[in-house]
Structure 1
Amino acid sequence: MLCTTVSQLIGQTPVMPIAVPNSDATLVLKLEKNNPGGSMKDRMARSMVLAALEDGRLPPGGTIVESSSGNTGIGLALVALELGLRFIAVVDHHAAPDKIRMMRALGAEIRYVEGDYREDEVAVVERQRLAAQLGAQLPDALFMNQSDNPANPEGYAGFVEELLAQLPDGVDAYVGCVGTGGSMTGIAQRLKRINPAVRTIAVEPAGSIVFGKPGHPYYQSGTGTPAGDEIGKVLDYGCIDEGVQVTDTQAFETARFIARRYGVLVGGSTGGTIYKALEFIAAGKLSGTVVTPVADGGEKYLSSVFDDEWMAKRDLLDPTIAAQLDAWLPGRARAA
Structure 2
Amino acid sequence: MLPTNVTQLIGRTPVMSIEIPSLNSKLVLKIEKNNPGGSMKDRMARSMVVAALQDGRLAPGGTIVESSSGNTGIGLALAAVEFGLNFIAVVDHHAAPDKIRMMRAIGAEIRYVEGDFKEDEVAVVARQRLAAQLGAQLPGALFMNQSDNPANPEGYAGYVDELMEQLPDGIDAFVGCVGTGGSMTGISRRLKQLLPAIRTIAVEPAGSIVFGQPGRPYYQSGTGTPAGDEVGKVLDYSCIDEGVQVTDQQAFETARYIARRKALLVGGSTGGAIYKALEFIASGKLQGTVVTTVADGGEKYLGSVFDDDWMAKRGLFDPSVASQLDAWLFGQARAA
TM-score normalised by the shorter chain: which range applies? over 0.9
- CA deviation after TM superposition for structure 1 residue 330, in Å: 2.5
- What secondary structure, in the 3-state scheme, does the structure 2 residue paired with 1:22 have? helix
User: Which residue number corresponds to residue 284 of structure 1?
Assistant: 284
Query: In percent, how many aligned pairs have the same letter?
Result: 82
Partner of 2:23 in structure 1?
Answer: 23
Aligned-partner Cα distance in 2 for 1:281–1:183: 22
Cα deviation, residue 296, structure 1: 0.2
For 2:244, the equivalent position in structure 1 comes to 244
Q: Within 1, Cα distance between the matches of 2:142 and 2:148?
A: 13
Unaligned stretches of 5+ in structure 2?
332-336
What does residue 63 of structure 1 align with?
Answer: 63
Q: Does 1:124 align with 2:96?
A: no
**Structure 2 residue aligned with 1:78:** 78
CA distance in 1, matches of 2:188, 2:90: 29
Could you tell me how far apart the structure 1 residues matched to 2:113 and 2:2 are?
41
Could you tell me how far apart the structure 2 residues matched to 1:329 and 1:298 are? 21
CA-to-partner distance for each residue in 1:204-261, whole Å, 9 max, x for gaps?
A: 0000000000000000000000000010000000000000000000000000000000
What does 1:108-119 correspond to in 2, within 5 Å? 108-119=108-119
Q: Which residue of the partner structure matches residue 334 of structure 1?
A: none
Structure 1 letter corresponding to 2:82: E
How many Å separate the matches in 1 of 2:127 and 2:100?
Answer: 15
User: In angstroms, what is the RMSD of aligned CA positions?
Assistant: 0.8
Whether 1:204 aligns to 2:199 is no
Question: What are the within-5 Å matches in structure 2 for residues 43-192 of structure 1?
Answer: 43-192=43-192
Counterpart position of 2:297: 297
Aligned twin of 1:253: 253
Q: TM-score, normalised by structure 2?
A: 0.98
User: Superposition pairs for residues 297-316 of structure 1, below 5 Å?
Assistant: 297-316=297-316
Give yes or no for contact 1:177–1:184 (8 Å, CA) kept in 2: yes
Deviations 1:8-61 (A, max 9, x none): 000000000110131021100000000000000000000000000000000111
- 2:128 partner amino acid: Q
The CA distance in 1 between the partners of 2:20 and 2:259, in whole Å, is 17
Task: After superposition, give the CA deviation of every residue in 1:268-310 in whole Å (9 maximum; x if it has no partner).
Answer: 0000000000000000000011000000000000000000110
Could you tell me whether the CA contact under 8 Å between 1:96 and 1:301 is conserved in 2?
A: yes
C-alpha distance in 2 between matches for 1:180 and 1:170: 28
What's the secondary structure of 2:66's corresponding residue?
strand
- Note if contact 1:21-1:328 (Cα within 8 Å) is conserved in structure 2: no
C-alpha separation in 1, matches of 2:329 and 2:22: 9
Alignment-derived partner of residue 213 in structure 1: 213
| Per-residue deviation, residues 81-115 of structure 1 (Å, max 9, x unmatched) | 11110000000000000000000000000000000
8 A contact 1:88–1:110 mirrored in 2 = yes
Report SS of the residue matched to 1:163.
helix
For residues 74 and 195 of structure 2, what CA distance do their matches in structure 1 show?
Answer: 33
State TM-score, norm by structure 1: 0.98
2:150 maps to a residue whose letter is P
**Could you tell me how far apart the structure 2 residues matched to 1:93 and 1:282 are?**
37
CA distance in 1 between counterparts of 2:181 and 2:82 reads 26
Paired amino acid for 2:240 = I
Unaligned runs of 5+ in 1: 332-336
Aligned equivalents of 2:34, 2:81: Cα separation in 1: 19
Residue by residue over 1:135-170, the C-alpha shift from the partner in whole angstroms, topping out at 9 and shown as x without a partner, is 000000000000000000000000000000000011
| Consecutive aligned runs of 4 or more in structure 1 exceeding 4 Å deviation | none
Give the letter aligned to residue 259 of structure 1: A
Distance 2:88 2:156 in 1: 24
Matches within 5 A, 1:224-235: 224-235=224-235
Alpha-carbon shift at residue 66 of structure 1 (Å): 0.1
Conservation of the 8 A alpha-carbon contact between 1:203 and 1:272: yes
Give the letter aligned to residue 123 of structure 1: A
